[in-house]
Structure 1
Amino acid sequence: MIKANFISAAKAVEMIKDESTLCTIGMTLVSASETILKEIEKNFLETGHPKNITLVHSCGQSDRERGIQHLAHEGLVKRIIGSHWGLQPRWMEMIAESKVEAFCLPQGQIAQLYRSMACGLPGKMSKVGLGTFIDPRFEGGKMNERTKPLNNIVDILHYDNEEYMFYRAIPLDIVVIRGTACDEMGNLTTTEEAMKLEVLPAVLAAKRFGGKVIAQVKTVVANGTINPKEVTVPGVFIDAIVRCDNPMEDHRQTSSWYYDPSYSGQIRVPNNQIKKAEFNERKFIARRGTMELKKGNVVNLGTGIPNDMVGSVCTEEGINDDIMITVESGIYGGQQAGGIDFGIGQNLVAMITHHEQMDYYNGAGVDCTFMGLGELDQEGNVNSTKMGSRCTGAGGFIDITQNAKKVVFLGTFTASGAKYRFEKDKLTILQEGKIRKMVNKVAQISFNGKIAREKGQEVVIVTERAVFKLCKEGVELIEVAPGIDLQTQVLDMMDFKPILAEEIKIMNRELFNKDTIFNLKKILEGK
C-alpha cells in the first residue's frame, strides 16, 4: 500500500529551495495553509532561507494580517505574480516601493493557466486583458518601476485574423494546498472548505514540471473512510502532508470564524438569521444599482459595495427567486459574506470550482455584473486597480467585465472624506470628498470604455448623486438624485464634461426610504 508522507511544517519548508517558484492556493483567508506559511516566514527570519523565490497566486490570499502576508519580506520573495493585493497592505507597500518585482495578471487567467500548464501547453490564449493595463502594448501587468525593464510574461497573439492575449506558462517548483482531511494514503478532501478553488489543476501543473506538492490538513482518517467521489486530490499527487497542530488559529474556514457548516453546505440557516445591512451611502448606491437588473438574470458580484451590499438588498427586497447571484469563487445563490470574507456564502444552491466559474465568465459571459468604481474618464475607461501608489490589482475584475452582457459600476462620486445625509426624499452633501473620481484620464485602464462602446456593451455607472451610461459618443449623464444641484455638485466636480441626456431623470424617491423596501420586485416585473 502506498503511504502518505506525513512531515512537520519545518521539514516542509526545507523542500522550498532558494530561487524556486512557489504557488499557493486560496482566496481571502479561505483554504490558506497558515501553518506552512508561518513556518516559511519564521525560517526566513531566522536563517535567511528560502530566499529570492517567485510567488504565484491567482487570488488575493490574506485578511490584512495572515495568509501570504507572511511572505511579504524583502529578500524572501524576489518576484510576485498575482492578481489582487487589496487585503495585503505589506504587499502593496513593497510593490509601491519597488522592493519586489511585481506582475499583475487577471485572476481567472492565472487559475485557468494552471490547467493549460497541467495538460502540457506552453501557455493560454484569451481575449481577456486586451486593451487594459495587462496588454503588453500598455503596461504588460508590470506594477512598479523595478518591473518595467523586465521581459514581458504576456504577449499578443494573432490567430484567424483576431488578436488574443497569450499568457505564458510559469513552471512551478512547489504548490501548497489545503484540505479538510486526508487518509493514510494521502487522498485529500475539501469537505469543510468554503470554496472549491483550483486545487487539482495547480497540483497537476506542478507535476507537469516535476514540482512538489505540499498539503496542510486538519484531520487524518483511516483508509476507506473517505468516499472516493469526495476526494479532491488523489494521494499519489501529494509529496508531503503537514497536519495542523492548532486548527483554531491556523486552519480557519475563513478569517472571521473557525468553522460554520452553513458556509460549506452541511447545514442551512433560517433566512431571518441573516443580518440586514445598515443604511448608508453604500447601501443607497447598491439599491439604485439593483434597478438595472432584469428577471432571470445571472448576476456576478465584485468586491466592495457589490458584494457587501447588493446581495443584502436583493434579499431584503425578496427578489432572490427572480435572479441567480454568483461570485467569482464559484458560489451560486444564498447570502454572500463580504469584506475580508469575500467569496463565500450561506445557504448556497451550488458551488463549482474557481477555474470552471471563470470558464463561464470568460465564455458565455454573465448577464449582469456589479463592480466597484475607482476612476472614470471621458472615454468611459474605468480604473479600479491602482489608486496612486496603492496597487490593489485586478482580481477577477477584468475576466468578468470584458465579457459580461451588462456592467454596472458602483461607487461614490468623490472619495476620501465625503459625508452625506439621506432624508425622506432627497440627498444632502454635508462634506465633499477630497479626491475626484471623474477625471480626464484614468491612472490605469482596468476597463476599456472605447472597446466596450465599439462592441455595444451595456455599461452603467451609479453613484450616490448621479447615474451615467456609456453611449457611442462617450459618457452620458442620465440621472441625478433629488436635492442635488446639477451644475455645482455634479458638473463642476468633474474634470470632463459628460454628454447630457435629452431628459435627465430624477432618481426614484423610494430609494430614500430607510426603513422600508423600495419595491424592487415590482420594478423588475414592470420591465
Structure 2
Amino acid sequence: MRIVTAAEVAGLLQDGDTLLIGGSGAGHAVPEALIEAVETRFLADGTPERITAVHPVGLGDRTFRGASRLAHKGLLKRVVCGTLVDSPPLAQLALNDEIEAYTLPQGALSQLMREIAAGRPGLVTHVGLHTFVDPRLGGGRQSPRSKEDLVKLIEIEGKSWLFYKPFNIDMVFLRGTTADEDGNISMEQEAIFGDMLSMAQATRRCGGLVVAQVKRIAKRGTLPAKSVKIPGMLVDLVVVEPHQPVTYQTQHDFAYTGELRIPLDAFPTLALTERKIIARRCAMELRTGAICNVGSGICTGIGLVAAEENILHNIVLTNEQGLIGGAPAAGLDAGAARNYSAIVDQPYQFDFYDGGGLDIAFLSAVEIDAEGNVNISRFADKIVGVGGFINISQNAKKMVFGGTFTAGGLKVRCEDGELRILQEGGHRKFVSSLQQTSYSGPFANERGQTTLFVTERAVFRALHGALELMEIAPGIDLERDVLAHMAFRPQISPDLKTMDARLFREEPMNLQEALDGQSWPSHPRLSLLGKGER
C-alpha cells in the first residue's frame, strides 16, 4: 500500500477506462476528493477521455458535487448507475444524448459486484422483470446512443429471469475513515458500509487498481481486526482527506456513525403539511414487529413520525444502504439513519429484500395509471432512475406508495381536523399512461401483493387490476378535489371511509394505542412453544 495524492491517482486513469465508484447519495462514504481530482485533471489537460463510470447508488448533492463532477463533454462515454437524480448535470448529458446512460436497479448492480469478484458469469435475478429495465421494455437505457444490451432475458426451467452482464474494472474509488500502514481500512465514522468490500474484491479480480480515500492514517497493528472493512491485501493506494464530512451537509453526526443513540425528543419534528399527513397515514399501516423499508423522499417522514409517536421500538425500519432499526434520515441526508441497531453491507441487505424479507415497504410514486403501474424513473423531461425501488417494490409482502395527489405548487391547510386545498398542484400524478414503468401493477396482482396508494387527500388500493378509492380526507369534495384531477375514474369503494381526523391536527396521534394488539404475524412454528416466561 502506498500513500499518494488525489492528483496522482487521477493521473493514473487512462482514456477509455472503466471507473467504479463507491458511496451513496449525498456524500455517504463518497470519495469526493478523488472524483474532484479527476474533474480537475480533465479541465486542465483534457484527459482522461471517454471513460465509463459505474456507481450502484446515485452520487451527489443535486448540484455540482459527486458524479456531477464528471459531467464534462468528452470526459464520459457511459454512465451506469442506480439513479441520476443526485447529479442533474449528468442527467442533462443523457437527455442531450451526449453520453450513453443506463439506470439499473441499485440492488442488482450491488450484487453484481460480488458476481464479478467471484468470476461468475453475471447476476441472474427476477428483479426488473416487467419494468423499463426488462430488455423487452428498454433494458434500462436512458439515452438514444445507449445501444449495448447490459441486461438479457433468459429462461431457466421454463421461468423467465434477467441476466445482468459483468464488466471489466480498471480502477475503483472507495472511502473509509482510517487506514493503517498496511492499508487495512476501517469505517467507524462513516454513515454506511455500502459495497466497499465487494467492489474492492471485484476490482482485484479484474486486475484493476483499488484506491481508498480516508480521513487519517494509523500505526500498523493498531486497528482492531474486527473493525477492518477492507483488508489491506486488497488496497493498492490510499489518499488522505482529513476534512471529509459524514455527508455533504453534515460534517459529523454521532448518531449517523452509530457512536451513540439520541433521545426520541431530539429527532426533528415535521411541520403539519401535506408531507406529514402522508407520512402519518403511511405510519398507520405499521404493525408491531413488522420489518419495513422506508425509501427516500416523502416516506422518510415515517421514521420521524414514529419517533414522535414513540413507536420506533415496536417496528424495524430499514433502508437499502444496509441500516437496520432506528429511523432513516430525511432530506439530503437520506441514506443515513439514527439509533440503528445493526448495519450490514449493501449487497446483503438486497439479498434479504429480494428474498421477500420485507413485510411492508414505503416508497414514493410520481405517476400512477389505472392498472396501478407506477413511474418514478423518467418524467417531465427528467431522468431520475430507480435506485433500490425495483428490488424493494417487487418483493415486499405489502407495498405502500406515498406522495402528494398533485405536484408542482400544491398548497394545503389543516383546520379543525379537516383538509383545505388552497392551491392545486400543476401536474397530475394519476395519469392515463406512463413514460416508463418502474412498478408493474398487473405483475404485483399476479403475485398477490397488497398495494396501497396514500396521498394527503385520498387513499387507494389495487384491487383486481384496478384502483379503488377507499378513503377521502375530511373537508375534501370527491368530484372537485379528487376525481377532477385524475386522468381516469377509479372504482369507488361501497364502503368509502373518511380519513382519520387526527391526521390533520397538530398533536400526536397516539399511534401506540393503535399498534397494541396488532402485530405482524410471527412464524407459525412459534405457536408450538410454551407460553411460560423466558
For the aligned pair, the TM-score class normalised by the smaller chain equals: over 0.9
Q: Which residue of 2 aligns with 1:56?
A: 54
Farther off after superposition, 255-264 or 195-204: 255-264
1:311 paired with 2:310, answer no
Contact 2:212 2:239 in 1 (8 A): yes
Q: Distance in 2 between matches of 1:226 and 1:311?
A: 34
Conserved? CA contact 1:454–1:472, under 8 Å: no
Residue of structure 2 equivalent to 1:115 = 114
Structure 1 counterpart SS, 2:3: coil
Report the alpha carbon displacement of residue 364 of structure 1 after superposing the two structures with TM. 2.7
Which SS does the other structure have where 1:315 is aligned? Answer: helix
2:523 matched to which residue of 1? Answer: none
CA–CA separation in structure 2 for the residues paired with 1:144 and 1:68: 17
Gaps spanning 5+ residues in structure 2: where?
519-534
RMSD between superposed Cα atoms in Å: 1.2
Letter in 1 for 2:40: K
- The aligned counterpart of 1:382 is 374
Deviation at 1:379, TM superposition (A): 1.0
From 164, 167, 175, the counterpart of 2:164: 167
Residue of structure 1 equivalent to 2:494: 502
TM-fit CA distance, 1:268: 2.4
CA contact (8 A) 2:441 2:465 kept: no
For 1:182 and 1:473, how far apart are their aligned partners in 2? Answer: 54
**Offset of residue 526 of structure 1:** 5.3
Aligned to 2:318: 326
Q: Say whether 1:284 aligns with 2:277.
A: yes
Distance 1:353 1:165 in 2: 23
The whole-number CA distance in structure 2 between the counterparts of 1:387 and 1:226 is 48
Identical-pair percentage:
40
Kept in 2: contact 1:377–1:442 (CA 8 A): yes
Q: Distance in 2 between matches of 1:151 and 1:265?
A: 42
Q: Distance in 2 between matches of 1:463 and 1:130?
A: 27
TM-score, length of structure 1 as denominator length: 0.96
Counterpart secondary structure, 1:490: helix
- Equivalent of 2:345 in 318, 333, 353: 353
Are the counterparts in 2 of residues 214 and 239 from structure 1 also a CA contact under 8 Å? yes
Contact 1:365 1:400 (C-alpha < 8 Å) held by counterparts? no
Q: Secondary structure at the match of 2:176?
A: strand
Quote the offset at 1:135 in angstroms.
Answer: 0.2
- SS at the partner of 2:154? strand
Hey, what does 1:188 align to over in structure 2? Answer: 185
SS state at 1:55 partner: strand
Instruction: Report the Cα distance in structure 2 between the residues aligned to 1:257 and 1:489, rounded to whole angstroms.
Output: 40
TM-superposition CA deviations, 1:468-498 (whole Å, max 9, x none): 0001141111111111111121112111111
TM-superposed CA distance for 1:271, in Å, is 2.6
1:513 aligns to what?
A: 505
Partner Cα separation in structure 1 for residue 122 and residue 132 of structure 2: 19
TM-score w.r.t. length of structure 2: 0.95
Where does structure 1 lack aligned partners over 5 or more consecutive residues? none
Task: Return the alpha-carbon distance in structure 1 between the equivalents of residues 24 and 156 of structure 2.
Answer: 33
Q: Distance in 2 between matches of 1:354 and 1:86?
A: 20
Deviations 1:104-137 (CA, angstroms, capped at 9, x unpaired) = 1000100000001100111100000000000000
What does residue 293 of structure 2 align with?
Answer: 300
User: Is 1:434 matched up with 2:426?
Assistant: yes
Check conservation: 1:335, 1:348, Cα contact below 8 A.
yes
Pair 1:473–1:20, CA change in 2 (3 A): closer
**Partner SS for 2:135:** coil
Map of 1:92 onto structure 2: 91
Q: Is the 8 A contact 2:279 2:298 kept in 1?
A: yes
Quote the residue 1:72 is aligned against.
71
Deviations 1:386-431 (A, max 9, x none): 1222011100000100000011000011111111111112111111
1:336: how far off? 2.5
CA contact (8 A) 1:87 1:340 kept: no
Take 2:511 and 2:262, find their aligned partners in 1: how far apart are those partners? 24
Equivalent residue runs for 1:174-323 within 5 Å: 174-244=171-241, 247-248=242-243, 251-307=244-300, 309-323=301-315
- Aligned residue among 395, 405, 418 for 2:397: 405
**Residues 264, 310 of structure 2: 8 Å contact kept:** no
Write the distance in 1 (CA, Å) between the matches of 2:517 and 2:186. 46
